[in-house]
Amino acid sequence: MEGYDKEILLSRDKIQERVRELALEISRDYQGKEPVLIGILNGVIFFFTDLIRNMTIPVKLDFIRAASYGTGTESSGVIRFSKDVEIDIRGQEVIVVEDIVDTGLTLSKIKESLQKKGPSSVKICVLIDKRERRETEVTIDYCGFRIDEGFIVGYGLDFNEQYRHLPDIFVLKEKGAST
Ligand code: IMP
């Protein structure tokens, strides 16, 4: 995309290795159970499928699509579900799977909404925990990588719907910006 350079942050090998570890950790914690994994569309697609196929326990799958009203890259905290969960999660163990947590507003609203449906537990699994702009504390039960700042793309993550297809993760930098 014009006006931006991208610098590699996480290689596909590093991502795959960490996703495998997370899948095994979740499988151990939920041994003998069949949790419902709920992916937050669209950015989660690669992470969600890689995570699930590395798990050693059966799972049920569903998706939520959440749009946040805001300006540019800022999230407003006003969340609208354009697709809500369809499985009946009453009494079920739920794991919400998200690509990245930034301000925390999206995930905290999603968790709040899911809890109203009466699941026996709701845990959160994110590939990337980006702490710099956190506004609401949200407990991350399973985390792939922690970064302090920066806008990242690739492996499902986009900037204006670009870069999602890339198998590695990159930091986007304005051309000419100092590092
Ligand atoms: P939050 O409500 O601020 O935590 O918003 C999280 C959502 O913002 C994620 O699901 C992404 O869609 C988007 N987002 C936040 N940071 C990034 C980033 O660095 N790259 C791509 N998308 C991001």
Distance set, CA 3 to CA 49, 73, 76, 124, 176 (Å): 32, 16, 26, 35, 9
Q: pLDDT per position in the chain (179 positions), as tens?
A: 668 899 999 999 999 999 999 999 999 999 999 999 999 999 999 999 999 999 999 999 999 998 765 555 555 667 888 899 999 999 999 999 999 999 999 999 999 999 999 999 999 999 999 998 999 999 999 999 999 989 999 999 999 999 999 999 999 998 876 55
Active site residue 84: no
105 CA closest ligand 1 atom index: 2
178: Cβ contacts below 8 Å, ≥ 6 apart? none
Pocket test for ligand 1, best of 135, 140, 157 (most atoms within 8 A of CB): 157
Our measurement of the distance from residue 24's CA atom to the centroid of its chain's CA atoms, rounded to an integer in Å, reads 18
Residue 157 pLDDT: 97
Q: Which residues pair with 162 in a beta bridge?
A: 159
CA-closest candidate to residue 35, choices 127, 142, 108: 142
Dihedral angle sign, alpha carbons of residues 36, 37, 39, 40:
positive
Residue 174 pLDDT: 85
**d(Cα 119, Cα 90) in Å, to the nearest integer?**
4
- Does residue 122 have its Cβ closer than 6 Å to ligand 1? no
- Does residue 35 have its Cβ closer than 6 Å to ligand 1? no
If 0-12 CB within 10 Å is exposed, 13-18 middle and 19+ buried, where does residue 39 land?
Answer: buried
Pocket test for ligand 1, best of 100, 125, 169 (most atoms within 8 A of CB): 100
CA–centroid distance, 33 to ligand 1, in Å, is 30
**d(Cα 56, Cα 97) in Å, to the nearest integer?**
17
Dihedral angle sign, alpha carbons of residues 149, 21, 95, 38:
positive
How many residues does this entry show for the chain? 179
**d(Cα 109, Cα 66) in Å, to the nearest integer?**
10
Task: Count CA atoms within 13 Å of residue 141 on its CB side.
Answer: 16
